[in-house]
């Protein structure tokens, strides 16, 4: 329709420059319009002044229409045209890039995508191109490769990297007169799209990329897992959540089963009801991390019998279950039941190493260590002076718990250390409610006030010895801290049935970025609902408030077999410490390389006091199945102090183990280990629908056009217009386009219809 009305395709308008061929100055046209408007206005005013039927509004309407007509005539007299750059015949090269990945074997009911591409090219397009240009054929996988004929296409490549391939072809343009590119693809790119650098490189060379989209944009019957998000590191036996994102076509309302497997062992499964067509559905499946070691976890959705692509129903992730035992220091200001029952709740959690300091009398403390269910201090001098006074001693812990401890019990320096413990060390701190906690303990004015997840009330007497019921917030419903039942709905109900807490404390209002997981509602006095469990990330660490000293009733008021109190505190304390980093933290952005070999290694290095160590020597010792061990030197990242990086290529599929070793002169700062895995032949199983959005964006950004296969033959004509290669400028008349003729008729018809309606013809 556009081409019918405006004579030329839209792409020509995009590329071309609008000009007037008459050569007269534009101000003259403006003057002409003004004169015409004046004369017409005078005549129409005079003509209508004697007629009662031609009021002011009607005369003005006629004047506007006639002036518009005068303008249109002047516009045509000035001879409008488009100046476009066109490729010189037989002097330019057109690069035809054909997707040769396995997704091109997808059967779109009538034919495969590879067959569709061949049909388009052999159906006249290739011939039309060859008549005017030299044509270079490329096959595209994770790179572009020149081919001589279409028969060389195999549709067997295991990856599609559109950006990388186009960049390669564009590089040829620096020595060859490439006038345009034609990309035949389903747009199923394994890298997530075309990066800005590639786009700007192509734009810089002014090469239009015309895209021909192959394949269906939606599958008829398919379930696809689009992502599985699971923590790359975990503590042994900890409860983890695998967040499985997926979408489906053709199975709305049907039941499906998500299964998590470690090898052949099913570690968790969950039945789900599939939501609306194409909707991204997110479900969290809980599982136990198990013993220490690297776990290869596969998330899958059982394929339906008639599913078109069952290969995209499973995704693999790595979880490194770290054998470390985080150390937690629990500082309690008074002997009380919450202290007793908290320690008992976590005593069977063999991953937590709990130290405690209890103020038994005004001048006495009672120190304990709890590990693997054993009590008693391993080192009799441990914490003998009470709460640590040195950074090195405090930072030896991964987490802190403050019970009913007033802030002034700590010196200003100790309070500041607590803040640095979170901010710099990256540790976690939990504040419990109590008669000497939070506001009542003077924490609002302490040096550690910033790290609290709430703004504490200014007043005192915020702690009440009165019962309160507990209810989860929507965030608490999804949190692993508060998950004491596997099923989220049952979990909410379970929390409603918990015995009331014996005491509560108003923690104030949550700060920006804080998350309220549970509220308490006083049972008496009609008190308002207030936050009970609030978490927040601060600096490199995290903090939480559990505003009660009376959750012990969950243990005493429920049958012995009930584990809700134990589970809650274990999960809460694990949250406090699970992400606490060590001196060295090694990582990679992607622990699973799907049909990729390049891996970026990263290490964050801190010294003994957890200050960034920018002067360290950092090495990555890489071992893998069937390859000799390799040592890679990591170099400082320019913009991040204490961060080191390296690029490495995994030579073949398999698991790789990396040990990062950091030294400062002869002093070893620490080590860390992490793993990654390269898997081949899986990337093309995903995103097999045509990514039309990507192809359209690519062509629009480069000055090309997107075509469906049925319209692709038009390319033979449209491709002439380009600013790349060897070109010549041409002008295209616009005065005779049908749109102007229709506009002319429209203006006249409008005036006639108005006059007829007014009875003044």
Centre a 10 Å sphere on the Cβ of residue 743 and count the other Cβ atoms it contains: 15
Of residues 372 and 392, the one with the C-beta less far from other proteins: 372
By C-alpha distance, which of 566, 522, 524 is closest to 548? Answer: 522
State the minimum distance, in angstroms, from the CB of residue 444 to other proteins: 21
DSSP sequence for 467-504: -EEEEE-HHHHH-STT--SSSHHHHHHHHHTSPPBS-E
Any residues with CB less than 8 A from the CB of 109 and at least 6 apart, and which? 216
Of residues 471 and 562, the one with the C-beta less far from other proteins: 562
Of residues 247 and 359, the one with the C-beta less far from other proteins: 359
Q: Name the residues that contact other proteins, by CB under 8 A.
A: 333-337, 339-341, 343-344, 347, 356, 358-362, 364, 366, 368, 373, 375, 404, 434-435, 465-467, 499-500, 502-503, 549, 552-553, 555-560
* CA dist., res. 362 & res. 299, Å (int): 55
State the minimum distance, in angstroms, from the CB of residue 551 to other proteins: 12
Encoded tokens for 747: 């203006």
Of residues 334 and 630, the one with the C-beta less far from other proteins: 334
State the minimum distance, in angstroms, from the CB of residue 409 to other proteins: 11
Of residues 483 and 565, the one with the C-beta less far from other proteins: 565
* CA dist., res. 467 & res. 461, Å (int): 16
Residue located via tokens 């069977």: 348
State the minimum distance, in angstroms, from the CB of residue 343 to other proteins: 8
State the minimum distance, in angstroms, from the CB of residue 442 to other proteins: 17
State the minimum distance, in angstroms, from the CB of residue 582 to other proteins: 30
* CA dist., res. 684 & res. 694, Å (int): 16
State the minimum distance, in angstroms, from the CB of residue 557 to other proteins: 5
Any residues with CB less than 8 A from the CB of 123 and at least 6 apart, and which? 712, 713
State how far Cα 632 lies from the chain centre.
Answer: 30
By C-alpha distance, which of 162, 178, 161 is closest to 170? Answer: 178
Of residues 149 and 364, the one with the C-beta less far from other proteins: 364
Of residues 503 and 699, the one with the C-beta less far from other proteins: 503
* CA dist., res. 215 & res. 185, Å (int): 8
Centre a 10 Å sphere on the Cβ of residue 481 and count the other Cβ atoms it contains: 24
Of residues 436 and 595, the one with the C-beta less far from other proteins: 436
Is the separation of the CB atoms in 536 and 511 below 8 Å?
yes
State the minimum distance, in angstroms, from the CB of residue 158 to other proteins: 56
State the minimum distance, in angstroms, from the CB of residue 219 to other proteins: 51
DSSP sequence for 695-719: HHHHHHHHT--EE-GGGGGGHHHHT
Of residues 434 and 581, the one with the C-beta less far from other proteins: 434
Tell me the three state secondary structure of residue 741: helix
């Amino acid at each position: 329709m556009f081409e019918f009305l405006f004579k030329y395709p839209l792409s020509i308008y995009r590329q071309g420059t609008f000009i007037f061929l008459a050569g007269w100055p534009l101000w003259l046209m403006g003057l002409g319009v003004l004169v015409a408007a004046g004369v017409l206005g005078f005549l129409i005013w005079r003509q209508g002044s004697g007629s009662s039927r031609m009021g002011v509004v009607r005369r003005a309407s006629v004047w506007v229409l006639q002036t518009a007509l005068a303008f249109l005539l002047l516009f045509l007299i000035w001879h409008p045209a488009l100046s476009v750059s066109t490729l010189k015949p037989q002097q330019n090269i057109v690069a035809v890039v054909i997707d040769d990945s396995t997704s091109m074997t997808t059967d779109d009911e009538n034919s495969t995508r590879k067959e569709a591409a061949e049909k388009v090219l052999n159906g006249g397009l290739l011939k039309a191109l060859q008549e005017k240009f030299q044509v270079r054929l490329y096959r595209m996988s994770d790179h572009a490769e020149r081919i001589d004929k279409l028969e060389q296409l195999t549709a067997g490549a295991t990856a599609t990297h559109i950006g990388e391939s186009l960049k390669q072809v564009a590089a040829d343009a620096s020595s060859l007169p490439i006038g345009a590119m034609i990309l035949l693809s389903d747009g199923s790119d394994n890298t997530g799209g075309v990066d800005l650098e590639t786009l700007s490189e192509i734009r810089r060379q002014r090469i239009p990329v015309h895209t021909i989209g192959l394949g269906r944009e939606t599958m008829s019957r398919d379930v696809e897992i689009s992502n599985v998000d699971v923590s790359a590191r975990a503590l042994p036996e900890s409860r983890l959540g695998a967040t499985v994102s997926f979408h489906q076509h053709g199975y709305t309302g049907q039941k499906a089963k998500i299964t998590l497997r470690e090898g052949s062992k099913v570690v968790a499964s969950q039945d789900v009801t599939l939501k609306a067509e194409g909707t991204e559905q997110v479900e969290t499946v809980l599982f136990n991390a198990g013993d220490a070691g690297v776990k290869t976890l596969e998330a899958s959705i059982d394929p339906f019998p008639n599913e078109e692509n069952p290969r995209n129903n499973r995704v693999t992730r790595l979880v490194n279950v770290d054998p470390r035992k985080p150390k937690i220091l629990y500082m309690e200001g008074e002997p009380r039941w919450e202290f007793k029952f908290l320690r008992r709740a976590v005593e069977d959690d063999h991953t937590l190493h709990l130290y405690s300091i209890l103020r038994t009398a005004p001048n006495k403390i009672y120190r304990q260590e709890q590990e693997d269910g054993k009590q008693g201090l391993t080192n009799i001098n441990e914490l003998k002076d009470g709460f640590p006074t040195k950074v090195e001693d405090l930072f030896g812990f991964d987490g802190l718990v403050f019970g009913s401890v007033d802030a002034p019990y700590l010196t200003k320096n100790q309070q500041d250390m607590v803040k640095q413990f979170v901010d710099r060390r990256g540790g976690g701190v939990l504040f419990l409610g109590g008669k000497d906690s939070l506001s009542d303990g003077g924490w609002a004015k302490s040096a550690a006030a910033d790290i609290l997840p709430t703004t504490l009330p200014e007043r005192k007497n915020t702690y009440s010895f009165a019962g309160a019921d507990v209810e989860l917030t929507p965030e608490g419903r999804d949190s692993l801290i508060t998950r004491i039942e596997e099923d989220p709905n049952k979990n909410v109900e379970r929390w409603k049935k918990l015995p009331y807490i014996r005491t509560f404390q108003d923690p104030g209002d949550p700060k920006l970025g804080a998350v309220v997981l549970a509220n308490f509602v006083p049972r008496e006095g009609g008190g308002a609902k207030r936050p009970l469990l609030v978490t927040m990330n601060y600096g490199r660490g995290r903090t939480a408030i559990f505003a009660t000293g009376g959750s012990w009733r969950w243990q005493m008021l429920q049958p012995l077999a009930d584990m809700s109190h134990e589970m809650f505190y274990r999960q809460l304390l694990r949250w406090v410490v699970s992400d606490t980093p060590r001196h060295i933290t090694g990582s990679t952005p992607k622990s699973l390389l799907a049909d990729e070999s390049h891996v970026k290694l990263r290490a964050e290095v801190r010294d003994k006091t957890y200050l960034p160590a920018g002067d360290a020597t950092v090495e990555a010792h890489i071992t893998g199945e069937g390859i000799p061990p390799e040592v890679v030197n990591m170099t400082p990242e320019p913009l991040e102090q204490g961060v080191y990086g390296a690029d490495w290529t995994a030579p073949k599929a398999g698991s790789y183990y990396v040990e990062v070793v950091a030294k400062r002169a002869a002093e070893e700062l620490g080590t860390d280990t992490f793993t990654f895995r390269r898997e081949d032949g899986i990337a093309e199983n995903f995103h097999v629908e045509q990514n039309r959005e990507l192809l359209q964006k690519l062509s629009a950004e480069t000055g090309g056009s997107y075509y469906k296969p049925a319209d692709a033959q038009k390319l033979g004509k449209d491709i002439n217009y380009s600013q790349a290669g060897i070109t010549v400028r041409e002008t295209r008349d616009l005065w005779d386009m049908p749109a102007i003729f229709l506009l002319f008729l429209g203006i006249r018809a409008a005036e006639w219809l108005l006059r007829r309606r007014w009875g003044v013809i």
